[in-house]
Structure 1
Amino acid sequence: MHGQWGVKVEYHHFLLDEVGQVIINDLKKLKKKHQKKEAEVKFYKGALVLIAALFLAYVLFFTVLPYRFYYGSMISVLINNVYHYVFVGVLATIHYRLKFLDKKAEKAEKEYNALRSEVIQRTEELWPEGEKRDNRHRFFREMKEKYDINLYYEND
């Protein structure tokens, strides 16, 4: 929808009262927070896999292959190489950071879904009878297209 000067105006400014706008703005913030946490989790999972692969390649090329016929020497190199401990420490740190971020992402998702469910359940209050209620499908479509927030039904 365009205003009189060609400025794009979002439907929900016309279709919701102030309380509804606050709730929708909070919903957008929670969706953004959830997406940010999911992106962080994805990044750390990738980093964990990459560093684990590098560690395995390092051990293979610098320990296993050169000492493949000398098991005692191989074990000695595995135990006495400080880089192995650094790799293991980095992997452990990333693993625990990933667990922490995964819990944060799960919490952000629960908060977002709780508020989204509340909006869906309070549809009658937010869009009372009349013109606003008749045009709420435009608002729902805008929220789905622009913000990937589904307000049509609770199970997303």
Structure 2
Amino acid sequence: MNSKIIMLESWTDQATKQMLHNLIGRKQKFDSFKKKHLILLWTSVFISFLFMYYLSKVLFNPYSFSFEALVSAFVSSSLFINLSLLCIGLFGATKVLYTKKEKAEKEYHELRCEIIDRSKDLWKDEAWKKRHKVYELMKSEWDINLYHESK
């Protein structure tokens, strides 16, 4: 468990600390998928752009007189086929990472909303008046907003 979560005072019980720790873990997982997806997306776009530029210089310009000659030259070269498969594979991997990112965001948002909804049960009596310290810690350290449910 994170040391800053452990150091919270006694008015935050162990179950609440564990929920906050799980929330931090899900936020970090979501941020990781978000970063990986963005890097892979831009890599896919860049490589596809370079491939299209290469195709235009090497294939489209010399064989623009005939569609049949263009297709024949494309299919006969294994380099063009392999580069096409690479681009398709990169965009497929981008889609898979996008799906994982969306799932991680949904899990993170559901747990965050659960903590917000159950805050009256998690902090009772005097602890209710001090919960803003936990909210400020979560916002400043991990950029997790527990004040409102909206994203």
User: % of aligned pairs identical?
Assistant: 27
1:115-154 correspondence runs (5 A): 115-130=111-126, 132-154=127-149
Q: Which amino acid is 2:150 matched to?
A: N
Name the CA shift for 1:118/1:72 in 2 (closer, same or farther; >3 Å).
closer
Q: Which whole-Å CA distance do the structure 1 matches of 2:67 and 2:124 have between them?
A: 78
Partner of 1:103, secondary structure, is helix
Determine whether 1:113 maps to 2:109. yes
Q: Which whole-Å CA distance do the structure 2 matches of 1:12 and 1:58 have between them?
A: 58
Structure 1: runs of 5 or more not aligned: 1-7
Q: Which runs of 4+ in 1 moved over 4 A?
A: 8-12
Name the CA shift for 1:136/1:96 in 2 (closer, same or farther; >3 Å).
same
Q: Which whole-Å CA distance do the structure 1 matches of 2:42 and 2:110 have between them?
A: 29
Q: Which whole-Å CA distance do the structure 2 matches of 1:19 and 1:87 have between them?
A: 52
Q: Which whole-Å CA distance do the structure 2 matches of 1:153 and 1:72 have between them?
A: 61
Q: Which whole-Å CA distance do the structure 2 matches of 1:94 and 1:17 have between them?
A: 46
Name the CA shift for 1:105/1:80 in 2 (closer, same or farther; >3 Å).
same
TM-score, L = length of structure 1: 0.85
Name the CA shift for 1:128/1:74 in 2 (closer, same or farther; >3 Å).
same
Shift of 1:72: 4.6
Supply the RMSD in Å over aligned alpha carbons.
2.0
**Residues 33 and 100 in structure 2, CA contact (< 8 A), matched pair in contact too:** yes
Aligned residues: 148
Determine whether 1:82 maps to 2:78. yes
Q: Which whole-Å CA distance do the structure 2 matches of 1:11 and 1:22 have between them?
A: 9
